[in-house]
Amino acid sequence: MDLGDNPPMSAPDSIQQVPQPEANPQKARTGINRVWHATGYSIAGLRAGWHEPAFRQEALASIVLLPLAFWLARSWVEAALLAGSVLIVMIVELLNTGIETAIDRIGPEWHNLSKRAKDMGSAAVLLSLLLCVGIWAAAIAQRLMT
């Protein structure tokens, strides 16, 4: 007898299907309740990022650079570029840490795709840092030359 040819069995009409609980309770929340919980998750993410040395260094540098951006800037556009470039570095660092954490959860063994994902995250951080340095160097050079 070949079992592969049998059609799938269905539950008789007399048996009611029991609804499965939602896998993620966040999906069922709406309105201010959802925003409240999402804010808590975001704060937890920032706390988790604080345990990463690179994010901690960038956060400490931002304490100096963000006020300096508003002093150095000659217009709101310059201030937005200077402050935004600092924040972009921190955002990309958090995303890179998230990628690394997810890869590490999969397993400690070496895999080419895991290495590739981590390298690409690291490259994104490097590019954001280069962008930030370039914006700040241009603003400082303009301030010194005029």
Lookup: tokens for 80? 């937005």
| Three-state DSSP state, 111 | coil
Residue 78 has a pLDDT of 96
pTM above 0.75, yes or no: yes
Residue 14 has a pLDDT of 57
Give tens-digit pLDDT for 4-45.
Answer: 566 565 555 556 666 666 677 777 888 898 899 899 999 999
Task: Give residue limits of the domains in the chain.
Answer: 53-146
Q: Are 136 and 85 in contact (CB under 8 A)?
A: yes
Lookup: tokens for 138? 């241009």
Residue 108 has a pLDDT of 86
Name which residue leads in pLDDT, 3 or 142: 142
- The residues that are catalytic are 93
Q: How far apart are CA 115 and CA 35, in angstroms?
A: 35
**What sign does the CA torsion over 32, 34, 35, 41 have?**
positive
Residue 28 has a pLDDT of 80
Residue 11 has a pLDDT of 56
Residue 10 has a pLDDT of 59
Give tens-digit pLDDT for 57-107.
Answer: 999 999 999 999 999 999 999 999 999 999 999 999 999 999 999 999 998
Reference 38, options 27, 22, 47; nearest CA is: 27
Q: Are 121 and 104 in contact (CB under 8 A)?
A: no
Widest CA span of the chain, in angstroms? 89
User: 53-146, what's its fold?
Assistant: Helix Hairpins (1.10.287)
Phi-psi region of 107 (alpha: psi -120 to 50; beta: other; left: phi over 0): left
For residue 3, is pLDDT > 90?
A: no
